[in-house]
Amino acid sequence: MASRGGGSLQFLSPTRQALLAAMKDRGEITIDRLSEETFLSPGAVRQHLLALEAQGLVSYIRVREGPGRPRHVFRLTTQGEDLFPQQYAFVANEVLRALAGEGEELFDRVFNKISKAQDELVGDRVNAPDRENRLEQLVELLDQSGYFPLLEVTGDGPATITLRHCPVLRVATEFPRICEVESSAIRTAFPGAVTRTKHRPDGDAVCEYCIG
């Protein structure tokens, strides 16, 4: 069955694939940083970004930091995100719409069952006795699930997990409650220690969790 996505990365040139991959990796990125990561001149990067913007794959915001001209910070659009693996978003949305039409009680039961299943999966897979290995297990599970996670740990201080891809973004856009399934699963691994600090449906470029 065909999805309603925006095409495929394979139809773009290798250079533009690299630019989109760098944006996916960083969430938000400047022309200068893209130039460093792709070994292209800033002028060449700018020309490619203009073309990608015209295709609806990237957008930018102006950020002013002190005196001088504001910087342009680029990110993928929803259509750009669709070039990366999603999780059968079209089918999922159709099923959830049908469930919502059957009444709130049934809708709640289904979401509770989904959340319980995800919590049990995390409980089974993320169970190391020490924090360091439990973090590694959680990141491995998130990676296998398509979240493109980045783990940052400073000594014994808080850990940060950045989810650079959302495999259920199309579903979350229409049914934000799916995000609570994700949050609940992560909190199962670290009860009482997890705070969501960035959230894509709220306008952030990535989702981010701080684990105390």
- Could you read off the pLDDT of 54-82 as tens digits, one per residue? 988 999 988 876 676 778 899 998 888 87
**Which amino acid appears at position 48 of this protein?**
H
Rg (CA), the chain: 19
163 secondary structure, DSSP code: E
Q: Dihedral sign, CA of 85, 91, 93, 95?
A: negative
Q: Dihedral sign, CA of 34, 38, 41, 44?
A: negative
48 pLDDT tier (thresholds 50, 70, 90): very high
pLDDT at position 105 over 70: yes
CA-CA-CA-CA dihedral for 86, 9, 31, 167, to nearest 10 = 10
1 pLDDT tier (thresholds 50, 70, 90): very low
CA angle 168, 185, 76 (to 5 degrees): 30
pTM for this predicted structure: 0.64
Share of the chain above pLDDT 70, in %: 92
**Which amino acid appears at position 111 of this protein?**
F
Q: Cα–Cα distance between 40 and 46 in angstroms, integer? A: 10
Q: Cα–Cα distance between 105 and 163 in angstroms, integer? A: 31
Show the domains of the chain with their CATH numbers.
Answer: 9-81 (1.10.10.10), 89-211 (3.30.1380)
Q: What ranges make up the beta strands (E) of the chain? A: 29-30, 58-63, 71-76, 149-153, 159-163, 194-198, 207-211
Q: Dihedral sign, CA of 34, 35, 39, 42?
A: positive
